[in-house]
Amino acid sequence: MEGPTPLLELQNVTQAYGTGAKRFVAVSGVSLTIHEGEFVALLGPSGCGKSTLLRIITGLQKPSEGRVLYRGQPLTGVNPHATIVFQTFALFPWLTVQHNVELGLKARGVPKAERREKAIALLDKVGLDGFETAFPRELSGGMRQKVGFARAMAVEPELLCLDEPFSALDVLSAETLRGELLDLWTSGDLPTKAILLVTHNIEEAVFMADRIVIMDKDPGRVVRDMKVDLPYPRSQKSASFLSIVDTVYAVLAGRTEAEYVEMGTAPGQPGRTRNLPEIDIAGLAIVLELVSQSPTRSANLYDLARELKLDSDELLKLAEAAELLGFATIDEGDIRVTDLGVEFAEADVTERKQLFAARIRRLPIFEWLLDMLEKEEDHEMQWDDVQDLLEREFPSEEAERNVETVVEWGRYGELLAYDDSREVIYLETPEREEQV
Amino acid sequence: MRLPRVFFPGQNMERRLTWADALILLGIVALVGFGVQLAKDAPAVVRGPSISLHPSVLPVYAVLSTGRMFLAYVLSVAFSIGYGYWAANSKRASKVLLPLLDILQSVPILSFLPVVLLSLSAILPQKIATELASVLLIFTSQVWNMTFSWYQSLTTIPKDLREAARILQLNKWMQFKTLQLPFGMIGLIWNSMMSWAGGWFFLMAAEIFNVGSRDFRLPGLGSYLQEAAHQGNTRAILYGLATLTLVIVALDQLVWRPLLAWSHRFRLDMVHDEDAPTSWFYDVLMDSSLMARLRRNWIRPMAERFDFWVLRRSQARTDRDRDRAGSNVLAWLILAATVALVGYGGWRAAGLLVQVPIQGWLQVALGILATFLRVSLALALTLAWTIPVGVAIGTNPRLARWLQPLAQLAASIPATALFPVFLAALVSLAGGLNIAAVALMMAGTQWYLLFNVIAGASAIPRDLHFTSELMKIRGWERWKVFLLPSLFPYLITGSITASGGAWNASIVAEYAEFSGRTLKTVGAGSIIADATARGDYPLLLAGTLAMVFTVVMVNRLVWRRLYTLAEDRFRMD
């Protein structure tokens, strides 16, 4: 793996959607070089633009700004030397397994006999011999993804892009498939020059890649580029493995900043409105209870994830919420519960709701919404109007998700109520309840 | 047993009106105007063919009729695919193409028949003109819902499959062949079956069209039945009906069912389906070694060679022409030319319309009103019998097993083929034509409603039935709180189709030549037919346009609102 020839280069790539007040930046100023021989993981929370970046890298999408170079040449159109293995497999259900694998070869004009031979050899390699004439719907999820891999490898890509390829699979199939891919990669059997894995799973990235590019959201950007110098095969229990995972957790969880930075600004105000993490409030209580019971009132995030059997993505969202509400602080991959957090963890249901309400009242987005509702005559607003206002801060899907979270948190804290049949959000007040 | 809701016109109900709608309506005015201009030169006397009633001619007539259908269908498929592809791939074109599709779906196609017949026979030899008119008519009746279904398929292909096709470097042809066509196939075949069934209705109407001294009939099964009815030859009527039924059933068994069974492989869902459509003929074909050999030795290698030929050509082409700056200018030129032509046509049409005297317009208004009442009556009568019968069948699987195939067979016989027979039976009664007209409207459209009611009734969840029984909801109360609301969306979609069909039927139902006598009754259809017979071209134009506008407006103002209401309020799923 010496002589790092740059295979792909992103220069200051930015992707924005929409125009005017609703213009939203999905990926901002990303520069990245992938060299021959590298297995790069692109890691980040959902919504950080990693899938967008993958589409830009493969030429499926043209960035709004910046350049994409492949072997030093600007990329025009879809990159013929790259393929993608999709999260959803993206197999053609009306073609047999073999025809699916042959498809890319046929598009390149490879004659039938040669195609056939190659497809059979590849299916053999991934352990699907005997399934050539089966249709994808006859296979299990793991087997379907094997077809996905065989199809991608059939065209002998120089750059193999994997878009969350294991996240739609059950745990066991995912584990097996990861190992098999690594075997192929490390044995040098693949003509592939580099692999790019897009994932939100920290352990997966550390287990597979020799370089991890960590992204964060709002806006999507690269926050860290780190090497993983562990020999293959990697043991997920070794101290060095755990220490790297820990480091990645620390980077992704960040460090609790001053309150005004954490909370952001109200929608419509200058500055960035904080994107609320989508969490289960009961889960938040469980995490806080667990951590507050430890003598130091703190815990390592990765240990916590394993203990609670949570996906890294889910735990990081809970930690983010705890941090935002002032229930915990985060530093270097550790979460520490604050006095407020202990109070919340030890409270009964009613007290919890009161405490929660008091905390979310301080969030600029709640302040803003409650203020607007106060001013409305009936103390109510259409869901769509609130979403519309938020679309000046977020793209529409994100805006909708934020309204959902606001309503859920507001309902839990008994500050807000929502009438589904009329699609209005209204202030929860005593007289209002009497009316209903 | 669950049946799909039958959307005969696969209409895009949510669309708002745009400037394009106005342009398109004006375009229709212009087109009909041009047609009427041409029609002025049509021969005053058209001699029709002599129709033999000897049973030995039936195979020939059957082939002639089916041939017309087939030709129109092939045209429809080609047009649908091209038009849908264009609309889905060009944002600019879709701004005109979609409203056009939308309006043409709701226009009563049969009202154009006289104009088309007259204008074509003015410029072409008689035989070719009538043949061409029938094919054109069937084509325009078949093509819109197929196009719409295909367009919808193209725009709903999952993103991951589209991306996979692109990243695998499939060229346009390969994307069409491995992704777009398979993905749209099920919808295309379902809609083809619908269109084909509807096509018979128009074919029969075209074959028997005969006004005054202009006999536009065509030799075929429709005219055979008409001739038999005129002569009161019961035996020939039975022969004709038997042949027609045989042809329809044979095509269903040997073409449509196998296609449906075959298309099942193109479904997207990844689970095994218990209710897969089956076809004995498809199974026979699949099991035959001849077919297997044909596929292995001929079809597959030919397809392969074609794919590679396209591949080489497309590679050569991408190397050559990259810049397409010219296309922009060309598009504007075409648009400008279209607008100019439409404007000119509209102006000429207006010139004709001012020649219609006040009485003429009154006559048209009265006719529209009469036909409207007739259509409403037919719809009301149809609802009155299909709702109870449909609910009985839909909620009783045992009854359904017997009646469903029977109803399907009955539905497959085009109502226009029976019209001369109705007429023969009713002609001596007072107001016989009136009764026959309503009967024809019902006969043509009741099946859509019946099938929709059955589908709706069978879709009511079992637990709702149990609940209503437990709560002792009986009699009218049961209909009011439970059955009718559940059926409402189905009734509306069925009624939209039914009323469209009834308007179409008025062209042949309100005016008829019967054994040398001319029978007519007040109505929009009879105005159009009568104007055709007398060569009153301004009135022909006024009548045709009035009918088109009325139907488009009724669709917009009544049916669409009800449809939206039904979808918003009464959807079960």
ipTM: 0.84
- Give the pLDDT confidence score for residue B142 in this predicted structure: 86
Cα gap B15→B26, rounded to integer Å: 19
Q: What is the pLDDT of residue B14?
A: 55
Q: Show Cβ contacts of residue B320 under 8 Å, excluding neighbours closer than 6 positions.
A: none
Nearest CA in chain B to A139: B270
Strand duo A39-43 + A194-199: pairing: parallel
CB contact under 8 A, B174 and A107: yes
Give one DSSP letter per residue of B76-97, joined into a string. HHHHHHHHHHHHHH-HHHHHHH
* Cβ atoms of A108 and B170 closer than 8 Å: no
Name the CATH code of domain A277-351 (choices 3.40.50.300, 3.40.190.10, 1.10.10.10, 1.10.630.10).
1.10.10.10
Q: How far apart are CA B372 and CA B343, in angstroms?
A: 31
The series of mean pLDDT values per 10 residues for chain A, 436 residues long, is: 76 86 82 94 88 93 92 90 93 94 92 93 90 91 93 93 92 90 88 93 92 89 91 88 90 82 82 86 92 91 88 89 92 90 91 92 91 88 89 82 92 89 81 50
How many CB contacts within 8 angstroms connect chain A with chain B? Answer: 68
Among partner residues B166, B167, B307, which is closest to A106 by beta-carbon distance?
A: B307
Find chain A residues with C-beta within 8 A of B270's C-beta.
Answer: 93, 136-137
A56, two tokens: 């830009």
Of A107, A135, A137, the CB nearest to B171: A107
Q: Bridge-partner residues for A41, per DSSP?
A: A197, A212
Q: Are strands A380-382 and A424-427 parallel, antiparallel or unpaired?
A: antiparallel
pLDDT at B9: 42
* Cβ neighbourhood burial of A380 (10 Å; 0-12, 13-18, 19+): middle
Q: How far apart are the C-alpha atoms of A249 and B447, rounded to whole Å?
A: 65
For chain B, the residue count is 573
Name chain A contacts of B272, Cβ cutoff 8 Å.
Answer: 137
Nearest CA in chain A to B158: A90
Which of B163, B174, B268 is facing A84, going by the closest CB pair? B163
Residue pair A82/A161 in contact (Cβ under 8 Å)? The answer is yes
Tell me, what's the pLDDT at A195? 95
Which pLDDT belongs to residue B15?
A: 59
Task: Report whether B151 contacts B84 (CB < 8 A).
Answer: yes
Q: Which CATH superfamily is domain A6-252 in?
A: P-loop containing nucleotide triphosphate hydrolases (3.40.50.300)
Res A84: pLDDT: 95
**In which residue are the tokens 């999820």 written?**
A141
DSSP for residue A61: S
C-alpha pair distances (Å), B251 with each of A24, B187, B246: 56, 19, 8
CA gap A183, A201 in Å, rounded: 20
| Pairwise CB contact (< 8 Å): A107 & B167 | no
With contacts defined as CB-CB under 8 Å, which chain B residues touch A88? 158, 160
Q: What is the spatial distance between Cα A119 and Cα A98, in angstroms, rounded to a whole number?
A: 6
Q: What is the largest CA-CA distance in chain B?
A: 77
CB B119 within 8 Å of CB B535: no
Report the C-alpha gap between A47 and B84 in whole angstroms: 34
Q: For B413-523, where are the alpha helices, taking DSSP H only? A: 415-426, 432-459, 462-470, 475-478, 484-509
Beta-carbon neighbour count of residue B420 at 10 Å? 26
CA–CA gap between residue A54 and residue B72 (Å, rounded)? 47
Taking CB atoms and an 8 Å limit, are A58 and B266 in contact across chains?
no
The rounded distance, in Å, linking the Cα atoms of B455 and B7 is: 12
Where in chain A are the domains?
6-252, 277-351, 363-435
- Among candidate residues B238, B211, B209, B210, the one with its CA nearest the CA of residue B225: B238
List of chain B residues whose C-beta atoms are within 8 Å of the C-beta of residue A92? 161, 164, 178-179, 182
Contact flag A108-B169 (C-beta cutoff 8 Å): yes
> What angle is formed at CA B214 by the lines to CA B213 and CA B219, rounded to 5 degrees?
125
Among A209, A191, A212, which Cα is nearest to A81's? A191
- Beta strands A328-331 and B511-514 are unpaired
pTM of the model: 0.83
Give the pairing of strands A380-382 and A221-227.
Answer: unpaired
Chain B residues inside the 8 Å CB shell of A94: 182, 265-266
- State yes or no: cis peptide before B125, omega within 30 of 0: no
Give the model's pLDDT for residue A432.
53
Distances (CA, A) of B500 to B201, B445, B526: 13, 9, 17
| Cα-based angle B328, B166, B261 (whole degrees, multiple of 5) | 105
* Contacts within 8 Å (CB) and 24+ apart, B263-270: B263/B185, B263/B186, B263/B189, B264/B186, B265/A94, B265/A135, B266/A93, B266/A94, B266/B182, B266/B183, B266/B185, B266/B186, B267/A93, B267/B186, B268/A93, B268/B158, B268/B183, B269/A137, B270/A93, B270/A136, B270/A137
Of B163, B171, B267, the CB nearest to A90: B163
B167–A58 CB contact, under 8 Å: yes
Q: Do B182 and A94 touch (CB under 8 A)?
A: yes
Interface of chain A against chain B, CB under 8 Å? 55, 58, 60, 78, 80, 82-84, 86-95, 103-104, 106-109, 112, 135-137, 151, 155
| Nearest CB partner across the interface for A90, out of B161, B271, B312 | B161
| Facing residue for A60 by CB, picked from B166, B304, B308 | B166
Pick from B245, B243, B305: which is nearest to B55 by CA? B243
Structure tokens at A125: 């390699």
Q: Collect the ranges in chain B with pLDDT lower than 50.
A: 1-12, 321-323
Nearest by CB to residue B160, choosing from A88, A104, A137, is A88
Q: Is the dihedral of CA A249, A255, A261, A266 positive or negative?
A: positive
* Owner of token pair 């390969």: B174
Question: Are A36 and A86 contacting, i.e. CB atoms less than 8 angstroms apart?
Answer: no
Contact between A137 and B166 using a beta-carbon 8 Å cutoff = no
Whole-angstrom CA distances from A375 to A202, A409, B63 are 45, 21, 77
Cα angle for residues B4, B9, B14 (degrees, 5° grid) = 95
Q: Testing the interface with A: which of B163, B168, B311 to mutate, by most A Cβ within 10 A?
A: B168
pLDDT attached to residue B10: 41
- d(CA B254, CA A350) in angstroms, rounded, equals 71
CATH 1.10.287 correct for A363-435: no
| 8 Å CB contact between A319 and A303 | no
Q: Do A84 and B178 touch (CB under 8 A)?
A: no
Distance from CA of A90 to the nearest CA of B (A): 5
Residue type for position B323: D
Q: Among A60, A88, A108, whose Cβ lies nearest the Cβ of B167?
A: A60
Q: Identify whether the C-beta of residue A34 lies closer than 8 Å to the C-beta of residue A51.
A: no
As a three-state string, the secondary structure of B95-160 is HHHHHHHHHHHHCCHHHHHHHHHHHHHHHCCHHHHHHHHHHHHHHHHHHHHHHHHHHHHHHCCCHH
Cα–Cα dist B483/B479, whole Å:
5
The predicted pLDDT at position B11 comes to 46
Q: Among all chains, which residue has been given the structure tokens 């041409």?
A: B38
CB contact under 8 A, B271 and A106: no
Residues of chain B whose C-beta is under 8 A from some C-beta in A? Answer: 158, 160-161, 163-164, 166-171, 174, 178-179, 182, 265-272, 304, 307-308, 311-312
Predicted pLDDT of residue B445: 78
A233: cis peptide before it, omega within 30°?
Answer: yes
pLDDT score at A398: 83
Which of B159, B166, B167 has the highest number of chain A CBs within 10 A, making it the mutation to test binding with A? B167
> Are A6-252 and A363-435 equal in CATH topology?
no
- Residue B271's pLDDT is 66
Q: Measure the CA–CA gap between B359 and B539, rounded to whole angstroms.
A: 11
Which tokens sit at B359? 């009485």
- Give pLDDT, residue B557: 84
Whole-number pLDDT of residue B7: 45
Q: Residues A394, A24: contact at Cβ < 8 Å?
A: yes
Cα B67 from Cα B61, distance rounded (Å): 10
Count of CB atoms situated within 10 Å of the CB of A156: 16
